[in-house]
Structures are given as C-alpha cells and as structure tokens.
Amino acid sequence: MNYQATDSKSIEPYEDGQVSGVIKSLIEDKNFLQTLSSQLYPKLTKIVPPITRSLVKKMFSNNFKSSNSVEEFQRNLAPFVKKMIESTTNGFTYSGLENLSSKPTLFIANHRDISLDPLFLNYSRFIEGYKTVRIAIGDNLLDGDFSEKLMRLNKSFVVHRNIKGVKETFRKLQYLSSFIDNSIKVDNESIWIAQREGRAKDGNDFTDKAVLKMLYLSCRKKMKLEEWLLRVNLTPISISYEYDPLDVTKAIGWEGWEYLSDEENNQRDLQELVEGIRGKKGRVHLHVCKVITNSPNNLGGLAHLIDLEIISNYRLWPSNYIAAKELNLLDSHSSSEHEVHDPLFFKRFDRLELDLKKKVLKIYAAPYVNAKEKRLDFHI
C-alpha cells in the first residue's frame, strides 16, 4: 500500500498555504488568548482578564501575523524558544555536529519531555542553519483546539494510539509508515520520533521494537533492512536534563488514567506539557549520534544498536550520580569528582515520603545504572 495524501491528511502538519489562516484563527480565539495570558501574566490575568487578553492578542499578532509559511512561523517563534531556554535552564549545549547534514533524516530519540525533546533538536538545527524536523506526537495531545493548531504549525504529525481492531490497526500503521517514508524521500523533510511510545517514566532509555516495525512497515516488502537504513539515514538522538520538572509526577504515576474521559486525559497531558516547558531543568545536553549504517540481522538487533548509541552518548549530571549514591548503586570505579553535593537537587524532594523519594531517585539513577551495566565510560 502506497502513501496517498488523502489517506492521512488528518495526521499531517499544516502546509504553507494554511499557515496564515490558522494564525488568524488563533488571534481571534478567546480561549487561546485567555490560556496564554494566564501563563504569561498569571497575577494580572486574575485582576483584569479582558485587558490582559487584549495585551496578549496584540503581542501574538505583532509577532506572528506576518507568518505566511511554516518556516516563517518557526523563525518568528525562535526568539521565544531562546528566552524559554535562558529562563528555565542553566545552559543548553549540543554535540555531534559532524553527524548533522542537510540530508533528510529519520531521527529516533530517547524521550523525556512531551514537547521539549524535539524542540531542542529543532532549535540546535535552526542555529546551525538546517531545516527543522517534522515531529511525531501521540493523538492523546490532540484537543481539536488551539493546542493542536500550534503543534501542527510547528510541523507535528499524529501517531494514533489505542487503535481498535487488527485491520484498523494495520491500516493506520501502514499510513503512518508511508507518510514518514514519503516525508523523507519525496518532501525532503526530516523526522523526529521517540524510541518508544510515551516518555521514559522510569529513566530507562530503551527502544521498543514495535516502533521500528512500524517505521520499516511500508518498505519491508521492497527492500532489505540494510537498504532501508541507508534510505532513511537513521540517526539516534540522546538528550538529558539535569532536573526533570515532572520527576515527582512520573514517580507517582498515572494510576486510574483509564477511568478518565478522553478529555480529562487530554487536559492532563497538555498541563504536563506546559509544566515541562515552564519548569526548571538545570543543564540540558543533546547529542546527535552517528548514523547507523552497519546492518543488524533483525529489528531486535537494530533496537540494540540504537540503545548503545543513546546510552553511550547520554550526558550524565551530578543528579544522576547523587541518586545512585543515595541508593548504594555507585560503584568503586566512579571517580570522586562525581560525588558532589547538590542542595538544590535534594531540596526538590524535601516534603516527599520516603517511598516516593526512593522512586524519584531510581529515575535519576537509571541512566547511570544502564551505563554501568554496558561498561561505558561517562563524564560530567
């Protein structure tokens, strides 16, 4: 089955011709303006909401009404991304520039934050003069409202989850696989996709073979795995945050989510998206790994190669070593330089019960443990 634009129009990012109309709709969207004003000016919004909405409307209009293409929208968005990075991190760095190129690429990445992981990749590519990537997002983030419009303006496309029925599942996965392949080979657009469904809530960055199966699905009958790897220029991405704004939320978990309505789950996910953007992240580092060209025998072998690249290039922070030490997981080979004192790290968990604090520490210790088990040498 070949990709047809009409088959999966609903999953696609906006085209340039749609941008101006979408932005005009956002400028007149009271719900969007109210939400944006409450995030930017929470105190003022409570006192004089109409005035604040008017100020935000003017600000958004002045900055984005001139956008007539996706590229122009993202160029106008870049200063706001820069400001977010400056105000919520202690520095963003990236490495592996030798592995970046203008060649359309399938980036497969570890996944810690709903929106920031691909945003940091796009920002680094923007700085280096490369085109931004199309971003795979779960349909749990779609609300049919302004959030969805903003994501699709930012080159997001939809990965359907919890599909019912074998035939419907295969059909949608085939469309998705074909759309991704078409993006790379016809549209010359790179792709970002997470190595597994959802964020790594336990700190473990392991690739789900089912994701690779979906990606290879549309080409599996016409080319071998090694040919497909060369076709998509498969490149792992490893990103790490010194602090996770949602660390406690991940430790608590989402028990009972299946009993919530789709709307309630959607609102929960979008709220966590906002918390991730606004929360303090400490230092952030992204590494563009080497392109995988050596052909494994199967998708399980490919998943292993991706994991090795991501884990071997994951920047460990003092928070990872401190957590490992607290859990008695720090081995004798770890240099004393890693055994640092970080009052800010522990202050985050002052009011947590012991069991919950232990769960949070396990999340932070996991990258160190995985590195140790693979006998890889890391440095701060």
DSSP string, 52-113: HHHHHHHHHHHHHTT--SHHHHHHHHHHHHHHHHHHH-S-EEEE-GGG--SS--EEEE---S
Report yes or no: 199 and 112 within 8 Å, Cβ to Cβ: yes
| pLDDT of 65 | 96
| pLDDT of 344 | 80
DSSP state of 13: P
In this structure, the strands spanning 284-288 and 191-194 are unpaired
Report yes or no: 347 and 302 within 8 Å, Cβ to Cβ: no
Which amino acid would we find at residue 77? L
Residue 31 structure tokens: 């719900």
| Domain assignments of the chain as residue spans, ordered by start | 9-13+73-312, 318-373
Query: pLDDT tens digits for 137-152?
Result: 988 777 778 888 999 9
How many angstroms separate the CA atoms of 211 and 359, rounded?
27
The structure's pTM equals 0.91
End-to-end Cα, the chain, rounded Å: 48
**In CATH, what class is 9-13+73-312?**
alpha beta
Residue-wise pLDDT tens for the chain (380 aa)? 344 444 445 678 999 999 999 999 999 999 999 988 888 888 888 887 888 899 999 999 999 999 999 999 999 999 999 999 999 999 999 999 999 999 999 999 999 998 999 999 999 999 999 999 999 998 877 777 888 899 999 999 988 776 677 888 888 899 999 999 999 999 999 999 999 988 899 999 999 999 999 999 999 999 999 999 999 999 999 999 999 999 999 999 877 666 667 677 777 888 888 899 999 999 999 999 999 988 788 999 999 999 999 999 999 999 999 999 999 998 766 655 555 668 788 888 888 999 999 999 999 999 999 998 875 444 43
Which run of H or of E encompasses 16? Answer: helix 16-27
Query: pLDDT tens digits for 328-349?
Result: 998 766 655 555 668 788 888 8
| pLDDT of 250 | 93
Sheet with 235-241, strands from edge to edge, namely: 92-95, 284-288, 235-241, 106-109, 191-194, 134-138, 156-159
Which amino acid would we find at residue 26? L
DSSP state of 68: -
